[in-house]
């Protein structure tokens, strides 16, 4: 699981703060679509690919409501589920 939290300060952005927060969320999700494969290298050894993280699903995609701090900070939460897939020399 990868838990990402996106924050913005509405006071610094003006009137379209919520739109900006959703734009940042969309920008992040471009890189984490289902079935996206992220290669994991062996940086302690010979830099060979030792496996892959395969993006499975979006477990949470929500605006975090916090009325006491809404004027100073807005937050969006993304929780992404990944699966580990090992590789061997024959399958690389």
Percentage of the chain modeled with pLDDT above 90: 45
9: pLDDT confidence band, cut at 50, 70 and 90? confident
Tokens describing residue 18: 């919520």
Residues 48, 20: contact at Cβ < 8 Å? Answer: no
Domain tally for the chain? 1
Residues 82, 4: contact at Cβ < 8 Å? Answer: no
Tokens describing residue 92: 């690389």
Arithmetic mean of pLDDT, 68-92: 79
What is the Cα–Cα distance from 21 to 26, expressed in whole angstroms?
9
pLDDT digits 0-9 by tens, 25-79: 999 999 999 889 999 998 888 988 899 999 999 999 998 988 777 677 888 999 9
| Domain assignment of residue 12, yes or no | yes
| Domain assignment of residue 63, yes or no | yes
| Domain assignment of residue 21, yes or no | yes
- pLDDT at residue number 80: 95
| Domain assignment of residue 91, yes or no | no
Range of the domain at 54: 2-86
| Domain assignment of residue 29, yes or no | yes
């Amino acid at each position: 699981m990868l838990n990402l939290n996106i924050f913005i300060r509405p006071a610094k952005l003006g009137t379209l703060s919520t739109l900006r927060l959703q734009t940042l969320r969309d920008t992040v999700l471009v890189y984490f679509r289902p079935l996206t494969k992220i290669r994991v290298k062996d940086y302690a050894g010979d830099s060979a690919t030792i496996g892959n993280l395969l993006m499975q699903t979006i477990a949470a995609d929500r605006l975090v409501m916090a009325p006491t701090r809404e004027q100073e900070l807005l937050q969006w939460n993304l929780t992404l589920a990944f699966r580990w897939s090992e590789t061997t020399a024959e399958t690389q």
